[in-house]
């Protein structure tokens, strides 16, 4: 992997970086799966913002970026309830733009971190995924699964995580583990073990992999 101190813009966008960032959070697998998803989402989306920022040329687009930046300042300050509200306003104001989609995803993550799963689901429902890069489409599904899990809607959460795992992207491991946890909570221990084993075998370099082994060997 390239020296982190000398990453090029192209290297920053590469999925391996996203896998590394999200994979490190799997050490929290037993108690903090939703938080891991939220943190991973924030990192990916912020990198995406950096990646698309240079493409804006018109004054209106610059205004959209400025509004997003102001809302993200609340997020960076860990004022998640306020960030969720501001980001949702940005998403609504710039409806139809890529800034709106990114603001919606960040609003969902902010709401989850503020403990407001219903608001997160509302934000996610308003994000059109068809125009997003594939890795953000996958992140959208993973975050949706996390919101459902926060509401203890285990069967629905498992289905959404399964949908996320079917999308080719950097969060496949997180999605499989999320589905496993949801199935476990739903009472399907056999399916959960199968999924934990799948994640263990499919991602040999996953940090915290030994925790997965404990799950399916127990």
> What's the rounded Cα separation, in Å, for the pair 195 and 172?
12
Name which residue leads in pLDDT, 125 or 214.
Answer: 125
Q: Which of 131-140, 154-163, 168-177 has the highest mean pLDDT?
A: 154-163
Greatest Cα-to-Cα distance within the chain, rounded to the nearest angstrom:
59
What is the CATH classification number for the domain harbouring 125?
1.25.40.10
Exposure string of 67-99, with b = 16+ CB inside 10 Å and e = fewer, is bbeebbebbeeeebeebbbbbbebbeebeebbb
Q: How confident is the model at residue 30 (pLDDT cuts 50, 70, 90)?
A: very low
Torsion from C-alpha of 131, 137, 141, 143, nearest 10 degrees: -100
> What's the rounded Cα separation, in Å, for the pair 15 and 74?
27
> What's the rounded Cα separation, in Å, for the pair 184 and 199?
15
Phi, psi values for residue 164, rounded to 5°: -65, -40
3-state secondary structure (DSSP) of residue 168: coil
Report the candidate in 186, 199, 123 with the shortest Cα–Cα distance to residue 156: 186
| Domain-located, residue 200 | yes
pTM of the model: 0.74
Burial of 131 (0-12, 13-18, 19+ CB in 10 A): exposed
- pLDDT at position 143: 93
| Domain-located, residue 148 | yes
pLDDT of 32 strictly over 90 = no
- pLDDT at position 27: 42
Which of 48-62, 134-148, 165-179 comes out lowest in average pLDDT?
Answer: 48-62
Count of structural domains within the chain: 1
| Domain-located, residue 22 | yes
User: What residues make up the domain containing 90?
Assistant: 14-217
What integer best gives the mean pLDDT of the chain? 79
Question: Which tokens is 32 given?
Answer: 């903090």
Name which residue leads in pLDDT, 76 or 7.
Answer: 76
Q: How confident is the model at residue 2 (pLDDT cuts 50, 70, 90)?
A: very low
> What's the rounded Cα separation, in Å, for the pair 124 and 138?
12
Question: Which tokens is 114 given?
Answer: 């503020």
Report the candidate in 114, 115, 116, 124 with the shortest Cα–Cα distance to residue 45: 124
| Domain-located, residue 4 | no
| Domain-located, residue 2 | no
């Amino acid at each position: 992997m390239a020296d982190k101190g000398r990453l090029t813009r192209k290297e920053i966008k590469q999925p391996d970086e996203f896998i590394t960032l999200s994979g490190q959070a799997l050490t929290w697998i037993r108690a903090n799966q939703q938080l891991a998803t939220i943190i991973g989402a924030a990192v990916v989306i912020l990198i995406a913002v950096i990646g698309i920022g240079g493409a804006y040329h018109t004054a209106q687009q610059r205004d959209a970026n400025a509004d997003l930046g102001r809302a993200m300042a609340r997020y960076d300050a860990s004022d998640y309830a306020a960030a969720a509200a501001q980001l949702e306003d940005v998403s609504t104001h710039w409806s139809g733009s890529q800034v709106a989609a990114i603001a919606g995803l960040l609003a969902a993550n902010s709401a989850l971190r503020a403990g407001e799963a219903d608001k997160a689901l509302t934000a996610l429902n308003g994000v059109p995924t068809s125009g997003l890069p594939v890795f953000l489409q996958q992140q959208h599904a993973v975050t949706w699964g996390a919101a459902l899990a926060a509401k203890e809607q285990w069967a629905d959460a498992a289905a959404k995580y399964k949908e996320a795992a079917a999308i080719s992207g950097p969060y496949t491991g997180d999605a499989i583990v999320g589905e496993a946890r949801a199935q476990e909570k739903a009472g399907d221990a056999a399916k959960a073990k199968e999924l934990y084993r799948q994640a263990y075998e499919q991602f040999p370099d996953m940090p915290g992999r030994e925790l997965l082994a404990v799950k399916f060997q127990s």
